[in-house]
């Protein structure tokens, strides 16, 4: 059974049109992470939640926001997608910060 | 300088070959070390953790040299199914803000051929 679920798997949006990516988990983990991975590059952490505590990476653009309404769900909002935001967005969870992270299958975003 | 550096490859090897991947990291305070595997267009999956004493899991052996800030992965008797990108991953030290953060290398691509 899938433990970290991301929807949709593929998302096409228009330049400047807000888009929301979804992540849910059945592991009851405290920590949820969002990574961006561009083609042939390493995944890069955007931000993470430890429970309700939001931790933004210093170099994450303001265009990227996140919400975690409850333990199971976490959303990535891109307010005004640019062509450079086309990437795979990976959600991961862990019980505590230093423990193994489990990744979802990712959402591949295309910006037209 | 990148925090985690790997030779991107690709490494093209025949089945049954032994192949070694290397990785260096820049932050001497780094705390934990891993190898992840990522198949094409899929998510990364943990392959193994890396310890100073070295650790082995079947055909896979990982080593850490803290003095040289160097991590290695050895794959013996390569299988076709080993074809993937291998990501070297480090958790940085330096305070609670970095706790749990994973720093990924660019990855090394392995192609095992019949």
More confident call, B29 vs A12: A12
Which residues have C-beta within 8 Å of that of residue A93, sequence separation ≥ 6?
A: A3, A4, A25, A27, A29, A31, A32, A33, A101, A102
Residue A26 pLDDT > 80: yes
The upper half-sphere exposure of residue B97, i.e. CA atoms within 13 Å in the direction of its Cβ, equals 5
Q: What percent of chain A lies above the pLDDT cut of 70?
A: 98
Interface of A to B at Cβ within 8 Å reads 31, 33, 40-45, 48, 50, 55, 88, 90, 94, 96-101, 103-106, 108
pLDDT bucket at B99, cuts 50 / 70 / 90: low
pLDDT above 60 for B97: no
Closest CA to A47 of A26, A27, A29, A68: A68
What pLDDT, on a 0 to 100 scale, did the predictor assign at position B41? 87
DSSP assignment of B45-105 equals EEEEE--TT-EEETTEEEEEETTTTEEEEEE-S--GGG-EEEEEEEE--SSGGGTT--EE-
Chain B closest CA to A103's CA: distance in Å? 6
Q: For position A1, what pLDDT does the model report? A: 65
Amino acid B32: pLDDT: 87
- Structure confidence at residue B1 (pLDDT): 75
Name which of A3, A25, A42, A103 to mutate to probe chain B: the one with the most chain B Cβ atoms within 10 A of its Cβ: A42
Cβ contact (<8 Å) for A31 and B100? yes
pLDDT at A39 over 70: yes
CB contact B99 to A (< 8 Å):
yes
Confidence band, pLDDT 50/70/90 cuts, at residue A40: confident
pLDDT digits (tens, 9 = 90+) for B75-87: 999 999 999 999 9
Q: What local confidence, expressed as pLDDT, does residue B9 receive?
A: 86
Output phi, psi for B97, to 5 deg: -65, -25
């Amino acid at each position: 059974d899938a433990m970290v679920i991301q929807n949709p798997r593929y998302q096409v949006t228009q330049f400047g049109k807000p888009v929301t990516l979804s992540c849910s988990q059945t592991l009851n983990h405290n920590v949820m992470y969002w990574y961006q991975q561009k083609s042939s590059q390493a995944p890069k952490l955007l931000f993470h939640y430890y429970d309700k505590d939001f931790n933004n990476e210093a170099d994450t653009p303001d265009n990227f926001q996140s919400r975690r309404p409850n333990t199971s769900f976490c959303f990535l909002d891109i307010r005004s997608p640019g062509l450079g935001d086309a990437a795979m967005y990976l959600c991961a969870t862990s019980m505590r910060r230093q423990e193994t992270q489990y990744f979802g299958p990712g959402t591949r975003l295309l910006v037209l | 300088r990148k925090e985690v550096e790997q030779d991107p490859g690709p490494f093209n090897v025949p089945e049954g070959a032994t192949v070694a991947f290397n990785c260096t990291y820049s932050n001497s305070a780094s705390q934990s070390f891993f190898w992840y595997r990522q198949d094409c267009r899929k998510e990364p999956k943990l392959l193994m953790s890396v310890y100073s004493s070295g650790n082995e899991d079947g055909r896979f052996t990982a080593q850490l040299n803290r003095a040289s800030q160097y991590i290695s992965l050895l794959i013996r008797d390569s299988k076709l199914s080993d074809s993937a990108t291998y990501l070297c991953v480090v958790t940085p030290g330096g305070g609670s803000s970095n706790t749990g953060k994973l720093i990924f290398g660019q990855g090394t691509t392995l192609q095992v051929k019949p």
